[in-house]
Amino acid sequence: MLTSTERWQVTDLPVSGSDTRIALDEDGHPHVLFKGDSTYGYAEYDGVNWHFEDTGLGWSWYSDGLALDADGNAHISYSINYSGCFYATNKSVSWETTTLVPSESWPTSIGLDNTGKPMW
């Protein structure tokens, strides 16, 4: 709850698309997953500046999920129209993708267990 001296900070992120997902890292900084023109975009705030990247991960009209581990790494679940349901993470230098269910598509969500492993 905000105290009487705290105020909401509103930031207009220069992102297009829809179905944004937000997660806070351990420092309380927001990370945002959003649908760009044809791929997911990812934005993270480091306390001073926003950093944006195109993940290169395709998307469909189904919902997706975003979770952060204790190190601030993103874990994403998503599906692409009848191409499959997927898991991706940015734990390494680039986004790594794993197919969870091939040739299907449906809404997905993701959470992490207490060791930081994804639960889809």
The pLDDT of residue 90 is 95
What φ, ψ does residue 37 adopt, rounded to 5°? Answer: -60, -45
Per-residue pLDDT tens over the stretch 28-45: 999 999 988 888 999 999
pLDDT at 120 over 90: no
Task: Provide the residue type at 97 as one letter.
Answer: T
Contact 42, 53 (CB under 8 A): yes
What are 77's two structure tokens? 């679940």
Residue 17 per-residue DSSP state: S
The pLDDT of residue 62 is 77
Q: What are the sequence ranges of the domains in the chain?
A: 21-119
Per-residue pLDDT tens over the stretch 72-101: 999 999 998 889 999 999 998 889 999 999
Task: Provide the residue type at 114 as one letter.
Answer: N
Per-residue pLDDT tens over the stretch 46-61: 999 999 999 999 888 7
* Rg of the chain in Å (alpha carbons): 15
